[in-house]
Amino acid sequence: MYKFLLTGFMALFAQAALADLIILQYHHVADDTPAVTSISPAQFRKHLQLLEDEGMQVVSLPDAIAALKNGQQLPPRSVAITFDDAYGSIYQNAFPMLAKRNWPFTIFVNPGPVDRGLPDIISWDQLREMQAAGATIANHTMEHPYLIERPQGMSLEQWMQQEVVQADERIQAEMGTSYRFLAYPYGEYSLEIADWLAQHDYTAFGQQSGPAGIDSWWQSIPRFPAAGQYANIDTLKGKLKTLAFNTGNAASEEPALGRQNPPSYTLSFQSDDVKLDALQCYASGEGRIEHTLDHQSGEATLETRATKAITAGRGRYNCTAPSKSQPGYFYWHSQLWINTSVENR
Ligand SMILES: [Zn+2]
């Protein structure tokens, strides 16, 4: 009986772990846009083929997030496709490919540029056309500012009303929907902003890498950037087999670098399924960095710190470790750091 229960539990656990959500993030799908945020239409087609070949289930982001928040299982190997900024090439190049496969996707838009009818930005009519074909249109702030750089003399409440609430209202007016989803411009946030969003029932998405699970922090859900240097098929394939560290919905650390640079970082997680002896952490601009581990009765806490200061506008620490129960799968967690002394980051 005990053995039966244990087997049942392990099967359930394996299934639960397999159901973590991979969210891919794109901007332009074009040959003639800035390389760092672009993927060519030919390469994007290969990504879609990879998702099919890997047996991924392309799911609607609102449905998947609602399920995770309710602690419900997702289909095995779930993936959501997202685009930031509503560039014209999404409508021209990506939409026909996605429509052909009948796959849902999400576009995070800035209503300001859409309202001004900028030439490289999708129109409300085109957004409605994609919505009718299964796309989700969600909030990327009104004007795409660095949210952590609040204008002088403006309260947090005024700033959030101007950039977040008004954008939601414009989307609601044009599309008839509001998901209370926000993708942070540049993936940047502060704990104060995250807290405001939590209090106002917003779910927010970052640009730090990693999968989402039922224990994610809902104020900066990770996404895997999949364009530019991250468009490589082989590395993307590995990211499709990642699991969320079970961190009990814990908030991230404050991303803005304080006095300590490089920053120390601590992550606590349930470790039953984590191969702790193979855990590795990396810092952007440096590569592998040392860590220490404190481990007892199914809980582990890692501490790590880069040796070089983060001089880029944004940096990240990524930690990964293989799963014990699912060969070929890796737990993955990323912490964003923002170097506010860099102006155009
Ligand atoms: Zn953006």
| Whether residues 235 and 290 fall in one domain | no
Name the domain count of the chain. Answer: 2
- Residue ranges with CB less than 5 Å from ion ligand 1: 84-85, 185
| Whether residues 213 and 315 fall in one domain | no
| Whether residues 144 and 77 fall in one domain | yes
Q: pLDDT tens-digit profile of 147-156?
A: 999 999 999 9
Question: How far, in Å, from the CA of 7 to the mean position of ligand 1?
Answer: 45
Mean pLDDT of 283-296: 96
Domain of 322: which CATH number? 2.60.40.10
Domain of 158: which CATH number? 3.20.20.370
Contacts of 157 (CB under 8 A, 6+ apart): 196
| Whether residues 276 and 169 fall in one domain | no
pTM: predicted TM-score of the whole model, two decimal places:
0.94
Q: pLDDT tens-digit profile of 77-114?
A: 999 999 999 999 999 999 999 999 999 999 999 999 99
| Whether residues 193 and 290 fall in one domain | no
| Whether residues 29 and 89 fall in one domain | yes
Question: How far, in Å, from the CA of 27 to the mean position of ligand 1?
Answer: 7
Residue 104 located in a structural domain: yes
Q: How far apart are CA 127 and CA 123, in angstroms?
A: 6
Q: pLDDT tens-digit profile of 177-220?
A: 999 999 999 999 999 999 999 999 999 999 999 999 999 999 99
Residue 248 located in a structural domain: no
| Whether residues 238 and 314 fall in one domain | no
Residue 254 located in a structural domain: no
Both tokens of 340, joined, read 């506010």
Question: How far, in Å, from the CA of 85 to the mean position of ligand 1?
Answer: 5
Parent domain of 55: 2-243
pLDDT higher for 3 or 341?
A: 341
Mean pLDDT of 240-249: 95
Largest CA distance in the chain: 67
Q: How far apart are CA 39 and CA 27, in angstroms?
A: 8
Residue 343 located in a structural domain: no
